[in-house]
Amino acid sequence: MVDVALAFAPGRRFNPWPAVIFISLAVLALLFLAPTAGVLLSSIKTTRDIALGQLWTIPSELFWGNYAEVLANPAVHRYFLNTFIVTAPATVASIALGSLAGYVFAKLPFRGSNLLFLVIVSGMFFPPQVILIPLFRLFNAMDLIDTLYPIIIIHTAMGIPICTLLMRNFFATVPNALREAAILEGANEWQVLTRVALPLSLPALAVLATLQFTWIWNDFLWPLIFTQSDEKRTIMLGIVNLQGQYSVAWGVQGSLSLIASLPTLIVFLFFQRYFIKGMTMGAVKG
Amino acid sequence: MEYGRYLRGWAQQALPRLVLAPSFATIVLFVYGFIVFTAYLSFTNSRILPKFNLIGFENYEKLFGLRHWSTAIENLVIFGGLYIAICTAIGLTLAILLDQKIRAEGVLRPLYLYPMALSFIVTGTAWKWFLDPGIGLEQTLQSWGWASFEFDWIKNRQMAIYTIVIAAVWQTSGFVMAIFLAGLRGIDNEIIKAAQIDGASNLRLYARIIIPQLRPAFLSAFVVLAHMAIKSYDLVVALTGGGPGRATEMPATFMYSYTFTRNQMGIGAGSAVIMLMMIAAVIVPYLYAELREPRHGR
């Protein structure tokens, strides 16, 4: 914490700075909220009202028809289910593999393990486009195109580098003495990991859970490549698809966008307080 | 007995390697192996299906002769440059302001960060309305009495690329703020106190001491943003669909359309390799600097 607020007030005179800073921050916050507020407003209005140029006004009465339309659409249920089927296992699997690898790199290094670490972590820098064609050919040859498996597999694989990096950095802050004490007590490596190291790493796990869940839930490119039928679409593809169907029904599009964002927003608001802490300790070298 | 101990010793030696094996194999195959595959395809005349006869640099010659590709590169330069500069400026400003022990930090901070939780598809949709002359900002300000107000960048071939900058900055600058805030919170307070006792003004304190200490945060932000800019695909699709016309074509949209809709896999693979080289030009110096410096703060 850089404590300069005090320095702004050398004497006891009236100090305007905290108020000025607070007001600038509040105005910026309003700008950040504006687009979402617009979508929210549109979602509670009739198409007619929006077409009449009333998109940005506060409606005199709330109209829930758009939400009813979206929630009653069986396609939307399927999109949600598919997205969940992809997101849950891929988030858990990538964090599990990353924790195992991170633990080895932090606590059980061996000759050459630094090089392996570099090879794995560098994997996060490559653009998806550069592996897209072979992946499509591979899953096509395995007859897995238009199933959800390729999306789960690729999100697990592409999540390993960031999970390994963050967990390695976090485990490195767990004192070696703790591990040695546990081993003297008769614990094996697995017990040290699950009973000592992981419970101490909850902030890092929270950051990773947020990042991976958000990233996979919101992804568009991989499902676009690997799925073809409407049956297998995930929610973000579904939004784009339904934009054709509801092309002028702005309100329906708005409510769908908000409903689709709700899971990630909830996860995010729940975990965001860990975020800065986790970043200070792990992802970004402090 | 002897044999049992030997086996245990071997297991203890081998265990770390065995645990790493699945992750390592996955990355080596899916990332490095497939990059080699893509690079190989870029030297073949593959169209709908991969072919394996080499034709030299023909695809790259074609690629750089295509007007779509030069538009995509120009757009990436404009978009990437502005996106990185503006996100860094806003992110740093927000972080410094939030770090002044202001009231209600806990309420304000999530308000800047939350766009990160939204997908580029949702962001693109929201901004498409906000920027639409018919129902968005232009229409609103006109109905509030500013009749001459015009804001139709999204429909304008010259200006449409800037709307992508606006939406992308909105989406990511909170994340950049988080990077800088983490950096600011990591600075040793003693240094700052010492400078204050020496009578350094706040401006000097920031210019001479605090901002130089944020160098790693600047680097991280730059790398993350450059990476996002080069591979950005969803936002373009949702906001402008590459249009009007082909005015907001980017390398990622080019790669997709040449590979999957125009069936020019060789050229598509070539464009992916160029994207990889652009990212490498950013990342390799960064990794080099990271690895050379002794790491601190852990």
Nearest to B27 among A24, A157, A284 (CB): A157
Query: Rounded to an integer, what distance in angstroms lies between the CA atom of residue A240 and that of residue B5?
Result: 61
CB contact under 8 A, B119 and A217: yes
Tokens 């790199």 belong to residue: A105
Kindly report the number of other CB atoms within 10 A of residue B242's CB atom.
22
Confidence of residue B1 (pLDDT cuts 50, 70, 90): low
Query: Rounded to an integer, what distance in angstroms lies between the CA atom of residue B61 and that of residue A234?
Result: 38
Is residue A8 within 8 Å of B202, Cβ to Cβ? yes
Structure-model confidence comparison of residues A270 and B91, the more confident one: B91
Task: Please tell me the predicted confidence (pLDDT) of residue A42.
Answer: 82
**Kind and range of the H or E run holding B211:** helix B211-213
pLDDT, one tens digit per residue, over B135-190 is 777 777 777 777 777 777 887 778 888 999 999 999 999 989 988 988 888 887 78
Question: Between residues 88 and 107 of chain A, which touch chain B (CB distance below 8 Å)?
Answer: 97-98, 100-101, 103-104
Candidates B18, B20, B97, partner chain A, best to mutate (most A CBs within 10 A)? B20
Task: Please tell me the predicted confidence (pLDDT) of residue A281.
Answer: 61
- Give me the DSSP letters along A96-128: HHHHHHHHHHHHS--TTHHHHHHHHHHGGGS-T
Residues ≥6 apart with Cβ < 8 Å to A143: none
The token pair at A46 is 């009739």
| End-to-end Cα distance, chain A | 13
Encoded amino acid at A101, one letter: A
A108–chain B Cβ distance below 8 A for any pair: yes
Is residue B108 within 8 Å of A25, Cβ to Cβ? yes
pLDDT (tens digit, 0 to 9) for every residue of chain A, 286 residues total?
Answer: 455 544 444 555 677 777 888 888 889 899 899 888 888 888 888 777 776 666 667 777 778 888 888 888 888 899 999 999 999 999 999 999 999 999 999 988 888 888 899 899 888 888 899 999 999 999 999 999 999 999 999 999 999 998 998 899 888 888 888 888 888 888 888 888 888 888 888 888 888 898 899 999 999 999 999 998 888 899 999 888 888 777 777 788 888 999 999 999 998 888 877 777 766 665 443 3
CA quadruple B282, B288, B291, B294: dihedral sign: negative
Question: Between residues 162 and 201 of chain A, which touch chain B (CB distance below 8 Å)?
Answer: 164, 169, 172-173, 189
- The partner residues of B54 in beta bridges, in order of sequence, read B44
Query: Rounded to an integer, what distance in angstroms lies between the CA atom of residue A227 and that of residue A223?
Result: 6
Task: Please tell me the predicted confidence (pLDDT) of residue A13.
Answer: 64
Instruction: Residue A134: list chain B partners with CB under 8 A.
Output: 33-34, 37-38, 41
Is residue A120 within 8 Å of A101, Cβ to Cβ? yes
Is residue A176 within 8 Å of A106, Cβ to Cβ? no
Which domains, ranges and CATH numbers included, belong to chain B?
A: 1-41 (no CATH), 58-291 (1.10.3720.10)
Instruction: Residue A280: list chain B partners with CB under 8 A.
Output: 182, 185-186
CB contact under 8 A, B127 and A35: yes
pTM of the model: 0.87
Task: Please tell me the predicted confidence (pLDDT) of residue B139.
Answer: 74
**How many residue contacts between A and B have a Cβ separation below 8 Å?**
288
Kindly report the number of other CB atoms within 10 A of residue B271's CB atom.
29
Encoded amino acid at B80, one letter: G
Tokens 């829930």 belong to residue: A64
CB contact under 8 A, B100 and A4: yes
The token pair at B230 is 């080069």
CB contact under 8 A, B234 and A236: yes
Closest residue in A to B178 (Cα–Cα): A276
CB contact under 8 A, A220 and B290: no
The token pair at A45 is 């209005």
Distance from chain centroid for Cα A17: 36
Distance from chain centroid for Cα A266: 11
Query: Rounded to an integer, what distance in angstroms lies between the CA atom of residue B132 and that of residue B114?
Result: 23
The token pair at A141 is 């040859």
A141–chain B Cβ distance below 8 A for any pair: no
